[in-house]
Amino acid sequence: MEPIRIGRGTNIQDGVVIHSKSGEAVTIGAHTSIAHRSIIHGPCTIGDEVFVGFNSVLFNRTVGNRSIISDDLSMAVGRAKPNGSKATRPRSRSEVIPNSRPSWRGNVRRVTMGR
């Protein structure tokens, strides 16, 4: 088994599954929030101050610092999301919007740091 590393001040909500196995470590940064019923499957690296929405699935992904992954989004085996990205799921496809709004980043801080 590979390690699962969770950074300081990170909020892992109920129903979340974090899975790693040989050669597939999971690292979750500081002050990040993983919302209810999400699945994080290694290999996976999630940066600092990230919000992963309800029911989201991340597998073999790298998510940059201060990024937002919307609810019900499945991001399996793909490119890295740069710092400050916002990944949403419109009706028929996934879309990445760089440089998420400060109000979204503020919400991540409120959830993970109580600010």
CATH at residue 15: 2.160.10.10
| Number of independent structural domains in the chain | 1
Is 40 contained in some domain? yes
Each of the 115 residues of the chain gets a pLDDT tens digit; together they read 789 999 999 999 999 999 998 889 999 999 999 999 999 999 999 999 999 989 999 988 888 898 888 887 776 655 556 666 666 554 333 344 444 455 555 665 566 555 5
Residues 6+ apart with CB under 8 A from 91: none
Is this structure's pTM higher than 0.85? no
Give domain status of residue 96, yes or no.
yes
Residue 81 in any domain: the answer is: yes
Q: Which two tokens stand for residue 55?
A: 């029911």
Is 115 contained in some domain?
Answer: no
Residue 75 lies in a domain: yes
Query: By residue range, what is the domain housing residue 89?
Result: 4-110
**45 in a domain, yes or no?**
yes
Neighbours of 3 (CB within 10 A): 10
Any residues with CB less than 8 A from the CB of 63 and at least 6 apart, and which? 45, 46, 47, 50, 52, 69, 80, 81, 85
Residue 89 phi/psi, 5-degree rounding, is -125, 95
Is residue 56 assigned to a domain?
A: yes
User: What pLDDT was estimated at residue 97?
Assistant: 41
Q: What are phi and psi of 10, to 5 degrees?
A: -80, 145
